[in-house]
């Protein structure tokens, strides 16, 4: 059961790398998976429910894998790497009616990863709760705003390098 659901999800991501979200059909998915339509409908109500499940599963994986980091730039770089791995899929979702769901989940990913980093910084550097909350909001807004810009520009610049350059520049300003 679980393997079939994962196969359907993985196939959805593959198809999303190949074509627009609005062009993906249940038939495309079941044909590639070599399962029948009833199997699809056993696991998912429709393509939008598959999309939501796929994004949430992907987001959970990113949060679990990258939540702990010594440097704030690493938090952003890891998220950039994951977005870049799925660049075409991200662009297809961004250009679809599901744009808001994508952005909402990216906001959630950023929040969870940056919260973990900020909590560590609070303990290691003894920063106040208010400074911790400010840090979380700044990094989250920076990540989501930059991601939005990256998607609006058709992912034509290196998002990870952008974060590293911005971090370096901001670090130099503090000196």
| Predicted pLDDT at 58 | 84
Report the greatest alpha carbon distance in the chain.
62
Give the per-residue pLDDT at 69. Answer: 55
What's the pLDDT at 68? Answer: 61
Three-state SS for 16?
Answer: helix
DSSP summary character for residue 56: H
The predicted-structure confidence for 21-78, as pLDDT tens digits, reads as follows 999 999 999 999 999 999 999 999 999 999 988 988 887 777 777 666 555 556 677 7
Match 């429709």 to its residue by tokens: 46
Residues 106-132 have pLDDT tens digits of: 888 888 878 877 777 777 778 888 988
- Distance from the first to the final alpha carbon of the chain: 56
| Alpha helices for 19-86 (secondary structure H) | 26-33, 37-43, 47-66, 72-85
Look at residue 170 in the predicted model and tell me its pLDDT: 74
Q: Are 15 and 32 in contact (CB under 8 A)?
A: yes
Q: What are phi and psi of 17, to 5 degrees?
A: -70, -25
Nearest 10 degrees: CA dihedral of 52, 53, 54, 57? 120
């Amino acid at each position: 059961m679980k393997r079939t659901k994962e196969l359907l999800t993985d196939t959805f991501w593959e198809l999303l790398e190949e074509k627009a979200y609005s062009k993906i059909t249940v038939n495309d998915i079941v044909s590639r998976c070599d399962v029948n339509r009833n199997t699809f409908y056993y696991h998912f109500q429709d393509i939008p429910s598959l999309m939501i499940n796929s994004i949430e599963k992907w987001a959970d994986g990113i949060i679990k894998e990258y939540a702990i980091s010594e440097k704030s730039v690493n938090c952003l770089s890891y998220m950039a790497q994951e977005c870049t791995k799925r660049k075409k899929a991200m662009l297809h979702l961004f250009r679809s009616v599901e744009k808001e769901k994508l952005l909402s989940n990216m906001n959630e990913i950023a929040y969870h990863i940056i919260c973990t980093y900020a909590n560590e910084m609070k303990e290691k550097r003894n920063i106040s709760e208010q400074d911790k909350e400010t840090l979380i909001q700044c990094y989250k807004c920076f990540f989501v705003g930059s991601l939005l810009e990256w998607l609006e520009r058709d992912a034509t610049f290196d998002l990870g390098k952008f974060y590293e350059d911005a971090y370096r520049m901001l670090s130099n300003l503090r000196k």
